[in-house]
Structure 1
């Protein structure tokens, strides 16, 4: 319990959720290896519930611990304001880096080289590119890289140039790496509201090459004038975000929409100068004033790929799935708790059409839905980490 309290004092925050898993030594308290730097350092007493869970009371943040099969899991759900769930395994802790938006774009990502081995990053980038991008595309991208600022807007062109400099890579590889991540994000996202009006937002990323990407995953605090403007999770070398939080305002995740061809996305990006889906998330996190403003931006700004944006706010009812075409929204699917529609599950298919039999993640998740909603502790994190949602490709 002493170790747990030390861990909670470091991790518990009124602005975030984190989950950790660790293997406890026999007969001892669990050794928690996940280190979530979440903000608040308050220490509150634990109280064991009748169900065997441990909760911090009194406190607007609820914590429970569950014994698993050879594992010890800790899940923290922030009741107010809205929190974003992220999962880390016991054997891997994403590093946390600060990216100052006050720095010139070319210098912003320099902190990456302090926490990652550059040679490992380049080996991973090469393998990801070879796995996902055909050889002929490498040649097609070369002219874009040579005139980067003619095709890619600032600050992203500058950030990509900076990445290439820090990694000792050619610019073409960093451009390819960013578009590889942009076209392959298979995911599951859940937004839910419980009977007390608390909102929960969970997600996973079912990328190909998951074992490679686990080693380059990074949590980022984006700073402006020394204060956290927004935060997100991404991959080293990638300037976009698929998961982010603007504290006291909203959270957002994005899922690939299985529609169109990847080369159409590349043409859209290069010729039409549309925004990659993940860049729009960054811009929305930086600029949107609240949940409604975020939904409007994510619904209307032209982007390069069809995508689903899942957004949650800080007030009851503020949860929505935005189905996007490249030029605008195809559908807006909000929570409607008054009609019993207290959760939305989105994978990679339009919710109004049946998913393919070979990939019915949404059907499975919806069937499990009543098990985590309308109760005091939605099991959102369990929904997105278990099969078939957390698929292996």
Structure 2
């Protein structure tokens, strides 16, 4: 334990001595100051410490919406964009040199001359790299916690969950960085390969979300079209039954009317059948691609979902969530107006109905995507990703301990 502690202290001092460590710390404090520069009063939202005022009836001091918005900006935007992107890239730049520099000529021989096991050195160096993120995120969350309590009077300890989440998220990338660094002994190659791997996981995850949204929309459109076709066929059968009842005792004008209606409905049924077939074909073409992306995504760590867990936990127990604010579902008057529009415009025409239909399916697809994300447990997201990390680390450790230095 003494050897591990000594290596950790040495790693901490080396990271702290880097200018980039101090740069990230200063930038993080500037982000916190920006976060503190806006808040809420009786009129609405103020920006830049009161220099600008935005009047709104929804977001006022002391309201649940204001609380959700303020904490949601931290979890959904600041953590995702600053800690999840910019600060992570800067951390990778700082830590990519840990193993290549250690394995460079002279450094490794000096350490190997001491009675320290290679496994101990490998683990200590890895934990030392994670210290960069733990310290930066810890100070950042402390600032955000104090600002949130000051601005909205909510001392939410869930903010500190960003420390383990961002650290675990970073470890998914750092393990790849470690493996490439041990293999190549090149800081630049390790950094570039890690960024490429990160881009791969982000691209696959984004493409999977987009295709799943399209699939949900297509499934909804098929279901609606099946119902529309069923209604049209029922109307056609009804007109034919009416015509048969008029064949013996009905007037000529009555028969002509129902004959014209039958012809019209036959055209409509034919069009609806063609439209349904087209939508079913589109859905059939989409499903294999969704399956392919699921297979590709299966072994990769859940980088985006891990960061997204913070918003889920921060919103837990609140009557209005950040997703409700982002989608506008929190405005009941707007929902009632849209429902009234749908009721009054139901018979305007098939073309207008198609537009309304697509709008409704987009809403349902968005709702299904939100439910899909919330149905995946945190244990599943983090557990599977940590299993990936363990496999990569075992491979890097095996190379590290067996290589001749």
Q: Tell me which interval the TM-score lies in, with the shorter structure as reference length.
A: under 0.3
Q: Give 1 or 2: higher helix fraction.
A: 2
Q: Comparing both chains, which one has the higher relative contact order based on Cα–Cα distances under 8 Å and sequence gaps of 6 or more?
A: 2
Q: Give 1 or 2: higher strand fraction.
A: 1
Structure with higher Rg: it is 2
